Amino acid sequence: MSFITIGNALGCTINSHRRGWDGSICKNAETWNCSAKQQFRTDYCQQGDPRCYHIHIFEEGNPYCLIDDLGIGWLLEPYPEVLNNQVLLFWGKRFQEPRGISDINARPKDYVFGAYRVRSVSPQKINEFKTLWKIEPYPDGWARFQQPYILTVYYKSIIGGVYLKEVNRVAVENMFEKAAEQAHSPHPNWHSSKDAERFEYFHSHLHEWFETAREDALKLQQNVVRPPAYRSTPPVTVPRSPFVDGLKNYDVKKTVPQTVTPSKPAKNGSAIYPLLEKESVKEKLKTVYSKEILDAVMTVSLTKNILILAGNPGVGKSSLAIDLVEDQDRKLIVPVGSTWRGREDLLGYVNPISNDFEPTDFTRFLCKAETAWRKNDKRTFMVIFEEFNLSQPEYWFADILVRSQYPDDQEKLRMIELGGKSIRGVTSTGSKVFISPAIRFVATINNDHTTLSLSPRVLDRASIIDMTLEPRTTLDRAKLELDEQQIMSIEELDVLLKYKNAMFSLRAAESLKRCLDNLQALEMNSSWDALDTVLLQQVLTKVRLMVGDPANDSLMQGLEEWTESYGKYLRKCASLINGWAEALKEGRDVIQA
């Protein structure tokens, strides 16, 4: 998703300052790591030059945060009021002695330090080339935790700038609830009594402030995106709102003219054969996948004739490829075999008895596209290679790779000699096949240990779109409606396990939907039971843990915290995770299958 979902919180990473973040460690800046760059600490902090952007975030009397223009200018330049009244979290790494070494050596966790209710943001011009943005909270709208709180809430990057993150609102409210419970423990460890008062006030007003933030975002969205008053009004270019309502508020079935886009001549005289022919398909890609995916596919139509969709299993690569061209007669799916070692596996072979060439479905499809081309039918034909990198493409795809790159008018160079006297079952004379300029190739590849990496020779001739699906978007795609706590359980597990390539996939979402539709037949008592079974069978079974791997320590700690939150609902998953912990303690690897 490109922009911020209305109603959610925002967050950003800051440097880590101990002892109340009062800057006491900055006198030792060269030897004490706060996560700022070494050169920055040497040039400024060690010399007593207070240029640290984050030192004043929780300063008594006048707290503020500075953010470099490179990190947030993309958002604040067009929308200077976009952060006003929004809830902003601050997190970072937690460090300990000696010299600020991270307290977890492998993949250190993020810890929440505190939060703002943003009052205003203003640009601070340093010089002609550098601008900083100053974020100030309301006097009663900021708080820091009594101790850094482990960031277990789900967050995601906002495309456009990597500095800001979007944080789920309900998860933030739950986090404050848990932090409040810790604050009421018999021995609270507040930096000062004022911190305790500020946190209590912030916690008690958080729900109200979220509602205000939502209302302000809706107003900004309406003011930025305003339709013309009359149909006769000439079209004007208006900026897009930085806020969106989310996928659930889009109608996938909206009516769009079903016009076919013919091939168009480019400026250099060659023709363009689009992967997307109908406006309805473009609208579907933008709605179901994202505007970025649509833009990338449209670009491929202009630049390459080979599109590679990359991503983890179940992310929706095949579904996207199938959606590109609606006409079944002009679309072919070719499953690639792991044993393919030559062009015969793709094209076919010469029968030594009849001396005819025995074609595959792929070769027949090439002949079909050639026939259409010679009849001046210039519509796009598409071949989808499933599991493209299950075998090395150069072994079996080399001829197609080379011939398809030649100009449209170089017919001889785009011709492949198959051998034999004729192609069996094809009426054309001879045993050659022409690679029609109107053919587009789409390949799906997985990123796991079962596949082979693509060579520079292939990558240079193709365009790659890396596909990822967030759990909430995956549920929307499957048209699944779960309660917020169930969605959060999936999101938080997904964050923990994505390093093990064990994400909640579209296939898992579709399986969950079938289970929910058949709860009675499956003798399940609730939707939690269905979710428990699907997560156990289709997510946790992908996990492999090796004894001695230091990354497993932080992962298991995170999983144990996850079971504390959701184990009473997801009992099977909690039991399996507890079994993993016992196995690792006993020196046994965890391998599901």
pTM for the complete prediction?
Answer: 0.62
User: Per-residue pLDDT for 234 more than 60?
Assistant: no
Spatial contact of 70 and 58, defined as CB atoms under 8 Å apart: no
Q: What is the pLDDT confidence band of residue 441, given thresholds at 50, 70 and 90? A: very high
Amino acid at site 265? P
- Nearest CA to 161 out of 72, 291, 67 is that of 72
Q: What is the pLDDT confidence band of residue 576, given thresholds at 50, 70 and 90? A: very high
Residue 97 makes CB contacts below 8 A (sequence gap 6+) with none
Question: CA angle, 170 as apex, 529 and 90 as ends, to 5°?
Answer: 130
Within 186-290, residue ranges assigned H as helices are 193-224, 279-284
Please report the DSSP string for 87-121 in residue order: EEEEEEE-EETTTTEESSSSSPPEEEEEEEEEEEE
Written as six digits, the tokens of 508 are: 């898992």
Q: What is the pLDDT confidence band of residue 22, given thresholds at 50, 70 and 90? A: low
Amino acid at site 237? T
Distance CA 513, CA 503 (A): 17
Spatial contact of 442 and 307, defined as CB atoms under 8 Å apart: yes
Distance CA 20, CA 194 (A): 12
Assess if CATH 3.40.50.740 describes domain 264-466.
Answer: no
Task: Give Cα separations from 410 to 307, 417, 436, 492 (angstroms).
Answer: 22, 15, 11, 55
Amino acid at site 350? V
For residues 145 and 203, the model is more confident at: 203
Please report the DSSP string for 441-478 in residue order: EEEEEE-STTS-PPPHHHHTT-EEEE----HHHHHHHT
Task: Give Cα separations from 356 to 221, 349, 416, 428, 431 (angstroms).
Answer: 65, 9, 16, 13, 8
pLDDT in tens, 372-415: 999 998 888 999 999 998 888 888 998 888 888 888 888 899 99
Distance CA 114, CA 110 (A): 12
pLDDT in tens, 27-72: 676 666 676 777 777 777 777 666 677 778 888 889 999 888 877 8
Average pLDDT over residues 183-212: 84
* Four-CA torsion 218, 221, 222, 224, nearest 10 degrees: 160
| Helix orientation angle between 527-538 and 506-517, rounded to the nearest 10 degrees | 150
Question: CA angle, 108 as apex, 105 and 111 as ends, to 5°?
Answer: 140
Written as six digits, the tokens of 135 are: 């974020």
Spatial contact of 516 and 529, defined as CB atoms under 8 Å apart: no
Q: Which residues of 338-365 are buried (b: 16+ CB within 10 A; e: fewer)?
A: eebeebebbbbbbeeeeebbbbeebbbb
Spatial contact of 234 and 28, defined as CB atoms under 8 Å apart: no
Spatial contact of 89 and 96, defined as CB atoms under 8 Å apart: no
pLDDT in tens, 287-341: 777 777 888 888 887 778 888 988 877 777 888 888 888 788 999 999 999 899 9
- Best-predicted range by mean pLDDT (129-133, 180-184, 265-269): 129-133
β-pairing, 87-93 with 9-13? parallel
Within 7-159, residue ranges assigned H as helices are 38-40, 69-76
Task: Check whether the bond before 313 is cis (ω within 30° of 0).
Answer: no
Residue 151 makes CB contacts below 8 A (sequence gap 6+) with 91, 109, 110, 111, 112
Distance CA 154, CA 496 (A): 10
> For residue 263, what pLDDT is reported?
52
What are φ and ψ of residue 148, in 5° steps?
Answer: -50, 130
Average pLDDT over residues 100-116: 66
Q: What percent of the chain has pLDDT over 90?
A: 28
Q: What is the pLDDT confidence band of residue 577, given thresholds at 50, 70 and 90? A: very high
| pLDDT averaged over every residue in the chain | 80
What spatial distance separates the first Cα and last Cα of the chain, rounded to whole Å?
35
Q: What is the pLDDT confidence band of residue 161, given thresholds at 50, 70 and 90? A: low
Strand partners, 463: 307
Average pLDDT over residues 500-508: 86
Amino acid at site 235? P
Written as six digits, the tokens of 48 are: 């007593």
Per domain, the residue ranges of the chain are: 4-222, 264-466, 471-591
